[in-house]
Amino acid sequence: MPLVPSSMLLRLAEEGNFALPAFNVPVPEFILWILEESEKLRSPVVIQVAPVEYQALDLRMFYGTLLFLSERFLIPFAFHLDHAREEKEVLFALRNGCSSVMIDGSRLPFEENVALTRRVVILAHSAGVLVEGELGRVGGLEGDEAEDGDSFTAPLEAEEFVQRTSVDLLAVAVGTRHGFYDRTPELQFDLIEEIRCRTRLPLVLHGGSGTPQEELQKAVVRGVRKINFSTALRAEYLQAFRSFVEEHPGDVAVHRMLPSLAFRVKEVVRECIIASLAQGRV
């Protein structure tokens, strides 16, 4: 199946009451491994890249890889821009294949977040592209700043934010964190339910890595429709890389390393898909 719009996958998730596993890809080979495991589990999937990730590699390289691989796989998959903080980043993504974008104004005061998100919605909707906004503060490391604390999403503010911005998805702070956890996360299920009830929007969890599978699945049942995964895949990739180098000192044949890296990353992808209740959906 060809690369499809994010809106198509979101409809599948709403109708089937599951979440879309959304994977950040720091290098293009991650895309192949994610799609291979997703095909095996018959799961739709979102491939996403944040500006902090494509600074070293051109965004068009990721889009080109997705277009090429769309001829090979039967599962539907979409391309998403994660954690944009400026309108110019969104515009670049619209020109290079993203069918949904996230504008992250969560560090801004409420009124400024509303204004920025509303401008991006107008821009993206004119191109038929979905917009994910964020309200509240998901703590931890996002890759480009010092660690910040949590600030849970307030349901009344979420309702107002959605009404004033017309976003299509809402990323919420309900107990997950970016990066590595220093404690077992405890999701606020009552908060998820209230935000979902007030906004009637698909909700997004950032920081899915490290959150217990049963916690994520309970969140999905309560209205989470997209879960972001990044740290778990990267950590497994780097550990597998280190292991290979230690076991094969002086070996510079990279092609011999790739199968072991792929195997380890795919194991994590499988766990994330199951945590999202997305297996067997297509």
The string of pLDDT tens digits covering residues 78-109 is 999 999 999 999 999 999 999 999 999 999 99
**Exposed (0-12), middle (13-18) or buried (19+): which is 21, by Cβ within 10 Å?**
buried
pTM of the model: 0.93
Summarised one tens digit per residue, pLDDT across range 25-75 is 999 999 999 999 999 999 999 999 999 888 888 889 999 999 999 989 999
Please provide the average confidence, as pLDDT, over all residues in the chain.
92
Please say whether the beta carbons of 53 and 25 come within 8 A: yes
At 148 the pLDDT is: 47
- 180: pLDDT confidence band, cut at 50, 70 and 90? low
Residue ranges of domains in the chain: 6-275
CA–CA separation, 6 and 4 (whole Å): 6
* Whole-number Cα distances in Å, 68 to 79, 149, 205, 272: 13, 40, 29, 24
CA–CA separation, 158 and 117 (whole Å): 13
* DSSP 8-class letter at 151: B
CA–CA separation, 184 and 252 (whole Å): 39
% of the chain beyond a pLDDT of 90: 83
At 240 the pLDDT is: 95
6-275: CATH class: alpha beta
* Whole-number Cα distances in Å, 98 to 7, 67, 207: 11, 12, 21
Q: How many CB atoms lie within 10 A of CB 100?
A: 26
Please say whether the beta carbons of 222 and 196 come within 8 A: yes
The residues annotated as belonging to the active site are 82
% of the chain beyond a pLDDT of 70: 93
* 64 Cβ contact list (under 8 Å, min separation 6): none
Quick one: average pLDDT of 101-122? 97
Q: How many CB atoms lie within 10 A of CB 263?
A: 12
At 179 the pLDDT is: 57
CA–CA separation, 188 and 174 (whole Å): 5
CA–CA separation, 261 and 257 (whole Å): 7
Which of 113, 7, 96, 17 minimizes the C-alpha distance to 54? 96
At 33 the pLDDT is: 97
At 84 the pLDDT is: 97
Please say whether the beta carbons of 258 and 244 come within 8 A: no
At 171 the pLDDT is: 98
CA–CA separation, 221 and 31 (whole Å): 27
At 52 the pLDDT is: 83
* Whole-number Cα distances in Å, 91 to 84, 87, 130: 10, 6, 13
Helix residue spans in 70-154 (DSSP H): 87-94, 110-125
At 65 the pLDDT is: 94
- 1: pLDDT confidence band, cut at 50, 70 and 90? low
Quick one: average pLDDT of 212-233? 97
At 178 the pLDDT is: 61
